[in-house]
Structure 1
């Protein structure tokens, strides 16, 4: 399956700080837990599995 067809996992404020693998992922597809570093647009990608994450608008505090 092409990763371009997989939608990003959308996160809310309650999900932060975010990490991958996320609780919804199957145990068989596990990898070491890594905390995600989001860009200014609220996007992040897991360095292990490539899962895309996006923080819902308004969920991230502004610095």
Structure 2
């Protein structure tokens, strides 16, 4: 499913690749402009290596070869 903008046209889904040092993952991330922000949520990438923000649809995924360290 693609998101649409105010004009009703499809917009590309943003994909953000993260390394182990970027965890815990949260959206909006620091690179997003302030005007487009929504409530901050933390995303769990430990099950499958990717997660999608339910607010803006941005996909966060681990870079290939990234090893997660747990407690």
TM-score category (smaller protein): 0.7 to 0.9
Specify every segment of 5 or more residues in structure 1 that has no aligned partner in the other structure, as ranges: none
TM-score by length of 2: 0.71
CA RMSD of superposed structures (Å)? 2.1
Q: What's the secondary structure of 2:21's corresponding residue? A: helix
TM-score by length of 1: 0.79
1:18-57 equivalence runs, <5 A: 18-38=25-45, 40-57=47-64
Aligned length: 62
User: Which residue does the alignment assign to 1:8?
Assistant: 15
Encode CA deviations 1:4-56: one digit per residue, 9 max, x unaligned.
x4351100111100100000000000001000022533110001111011111
Instruction: Please identify runs of 4+ aligned residues in structure 1 that moved more than 3 A.
Output: none
Larger radius of gyration: 2
Choose between structure 1 and 2 for higher RCO, CA contacts under 8 A separated by at least 6 residues: 1
Query: Which structure has the highest helix share of the two?
Result: 1
- Contact conserved, 1:42 with 1:60, CA < 8 A, in 2? no
